Amino acid sequence: METTLRGVGVSHGVAIGEVRHMGTAVLEPPAKQIPAEDAEREQGRARQAVEAVAADLIARGNLAGGEAQHVLEAQAMMAQDPELMADVERRIAVGSSAERGVYDAFASYRALLASAGEYLAGRVADLDDVRNRIVARLLGVPMPGVPDSDEPYVLIARDLAPADTALLDPALVLGFVTEEGGPTSHSAILARALGVPAVVALPGAGELAEGTVIAVDGSTGEIFVEPSAEKRAEMESAAAARKAALSASTGPGATSDGHKIPLLANVGGPGDVPAAVEAGAEGVGLFRTEFLFLDDSERAPSEEKQVAAYRAVLEAFPEGRVVVRVLDAGADKPLDFLTPADEPNPALGVRGLRSLLDHPDVLRTQLTALAKAADGLPVHLEVMAPMVADRADAKAFADACREAGLGAKFGAMVEIPSAALRARSILREVEFLSLGTNDLAQYTFAADRQVGAVSRLQDPWQPALLDLVALSAQAAAAEGKSCGVCGEAASDPLLACVLTGLGVTSLSMGAASIPYVRATLAKYTLAQCERAASAARATDSAEEARMAAQAVLSGE
């Protein structure tokens, strides 16, 4: 009998197939004492396992490329964390085996971060995956991971670590469903990059029996268990119509009456550029430069290395717009040379622009490298600062850009509610705004963007978040300046129409979402988008907002 479940849709598309479950997690190793004379040997085993796992993660990243590569390299750094390794060796020195020392050290680190309110605690899938891989290697058992299957299937998991998601084969994995995670988790971002339909934050997903046929709608978050023949035909027909619409839609982003909305790509480095170009991106709306810095947490990359990486991206978009976000370090992206080690809550501490203003040499080098990378190219370079709180922040960044001789537009990201509320004041110092809806939702609702339990508050359809977007867009219009969205909200085709109706002037997203957004925008006039935006803001919940906008655009 057909039943319907609902989670959070995070990657567009429809998948219909049999359920396969993620491999079982590594069992807890026995707590047995080892002789003192074996301690040095066990410490060596632990170090070798850590290095092997880190090398494997980096190798997987090299195979995956793009956004996945950056995520996996950051996870490899987690495996090699010197404080964690020191704790492992201390535990072995007092009698733990290598595998037990690793297991207990990771458990302690996990509990410590959670109790301290550490933003990194939200990366539980990443942290647990690193632990499981190290312990599995030490025990000599197979790594937990994607099941072996000759037939296509829908993958079910508690959560998916980046190492699993990055190398999913879309020819076999039709889609995936997880019990945890949120719309901005690593798994969700990588699923969109792969073009794999995905639904997260579905309680009880693990109870779906192996082999059960389910239909997954990655747009609505609906899961149909044992769908009827009529339901399957309906979903397959809708998927075919969507595919045809995507193929027919080309060119710049615009509404049906010609109101232009440039569609840009979010990239993490040169590896993400080919997919952006293939999707028809009109430029880059968010170039995340922090991944270049994560290669070595102890020192910033040289100016020469930065110039080469930046130029590779800029050259791909001649005459296009490329918006670069300067280093956004701190919170879940700590850097030894930049980030304070003793903050009780780094997400609310010295991160983003605050870190750079405390280390002006790092900011100056990056701005100088960007200026050199753009020299002689016809690209329209724009540079923005993360985590701008007020006009003083905006002025400090603008002054730094001028002092570095940067001949580019400079702007501010709106990720803190104060920046949205005082957007017009900030725009007196900078030339554009860019809304990072992921962090803006996190700070507006006090809801960690990586915790599935509060995922409803991370829903970009929340009316309060739409109000902040509207305030920012209205301020930009009053000042005659632009206001784009570069958060994950822009990747939702229906929400893209609402954002357009709110007055947003450009949309930036993962490359895989661009065709969906382009095709959907082209179906409606600007006036329809404005009416949909007004209807969404008049509601009291994310679900009501979505339904109200859909009703307006469908003519109901």
Q: Which of 321, 315, 309, 319 is nearest to 265 (CA)?
A: 321
Quote the crossing angle between the two packed helices 82-93 and 98-115, to the nearest 10°: 130
Q: Are 99 and 135 in contact (CB under 8 A)?
A: yes
CB under 8 A, 24+ apart: contacts of 42-46: 42/92, 42/96, 42/97, 42/98, 42/101, 43/88, 43/89, 43/92, 43/93, 43/98, 45/98, 45/138, 46/85, 46/88, 46/89, 46/92, 46/98, 46/101, 46/102, 46/134, 46/138
Active site residue 359: no
Is there a catalytic annotation at residue 259? no
Residues in a beta bridge with 380: 321
17 residue type, one letter: G
- Interior angle at CA 413, CA 166 and CA 536, nearest 5: 85
Catalytic residue, chosen from 12, 70, 483, 486, is 486
Type of residue found at 141: V
What is the C-alpha to C-alpha distance for residues 535 and 550, in angstroms, rounded to an integer? Answer: 9
Cβ density class 250-281: b for 16+ within 10 Å, e for less: eeebbbeeeeebbbbbbbbbbbbbebbeebbb
Whole-angstrom distance, CA of residue 84 vs CA of residue 100 = 13
Q: CA angle, 519 as apex, 514 and 522 as ends, to 5°?
A: 120
Contact assessment for residue 17 and residue 152, using Cβ atoms and an 8 Å cutoff: yes
CA dist 475 and 486 (Å) reads 18
Catalytic one of 12, 186, 359, 483: 186
Residue keyed to tokens 């020469």: 304
Contact 181, 452 (CB under 8 A): yes
C-alpha span between 417 and 529 (Å, rounded): 24
- Rounded to a whole number of angstroms, the distance between the first and last alpha carbons of the chain is 31
**Phi/psi of residue 11, nearest 5 degrees:** -150, 120
User: How many beta carbons lie within 10 A of that of residue 365, not counting itself?
Assistant: 17
Q: How far apart are CA 42 and CA 234, in angstroms?
A: 58
What whole-number distance in Å separates Cα of residue 546 and Cα of residue 220? 10
Active-site residue list: 186, 486
